[in-house]
């Protein structure tokens, strides 16, 4: 098992410079067939994602891997049984949104890489996605709606170096983060 630490923009009132550099980089697509590096990255993402019960999505850059790979929970979001978590989740390699539909829906989002913060973000309620699966590299063309579409859009943002704090929506933060975040946003 290769569980990795989740990178964060800040911790204990300080910017994590190295984590920020990695989180802000655009990720690289890997061609098929999967090479050893890609297989190991998929395993590390699975292991880290499945180990956590506080996440519905995780992107490879969040664990320090600069590849276009995401893990998403697609159903049974409230079920905390770790043995079922893998069955309720997918790994998507080189995901690309090919179509968006419906109205933009505004919701609060949190992020493991931006601890203590939630931001109101508009996202499409329906997307079509092209990707490869984690096992065989089989091509996937699939439609996602509602909350799952939101999770995927959030995780794809990570692949492009974009985080929830980059959006213009209202920011909600735990009180202990207020002073730090005021300084953080003043510098931007």
Supply the residues annotated as catalytic: 155
* CB half-sphere exposure, 76, CA atoms < 13 A: 13
* CB half-sphere exposure, 164, CA atoms < 13 A: 27
């Amino acid at each position: 098992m290769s569980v990795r630490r989740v990178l964060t923009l800040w911790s204990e009132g300080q910017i994590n410079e190295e984590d920020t550099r990695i989180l802000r980089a655009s990720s690289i697509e890997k061609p098929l067939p999967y090479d050893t590096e890609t297989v190991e990255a998929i395993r590390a993402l699975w292991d880290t994602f499945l180990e956590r019960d506080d996440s519905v999505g995780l992107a490879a850059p969040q664990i320090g891997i600069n590849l276009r790979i995401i893990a998403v929970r697609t159903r049974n979001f409230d079920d905390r049984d770790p043995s079922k978590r893998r069955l309720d989740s997918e790994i998507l390699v080189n995901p690309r949104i090919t179509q968006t539909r419906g109205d933009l829906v505004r919701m609060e989002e949190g992020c493991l890489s931006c601890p203590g913060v939630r931001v109101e973000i508009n996202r499409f309620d329906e997307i079509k996605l092209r990707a490869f699966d984690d096992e065989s590299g089989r091509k996937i063309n699939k439609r996602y709606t509602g909350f799952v579409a939101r999770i995927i859009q959030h995780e794809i943002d990570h692949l492009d170096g974009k985080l929830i704090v980059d959006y213009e929506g209202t920011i909600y933060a735990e009180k202990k983060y207020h002073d730090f975040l005021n300084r953080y946003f003043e510098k931007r």
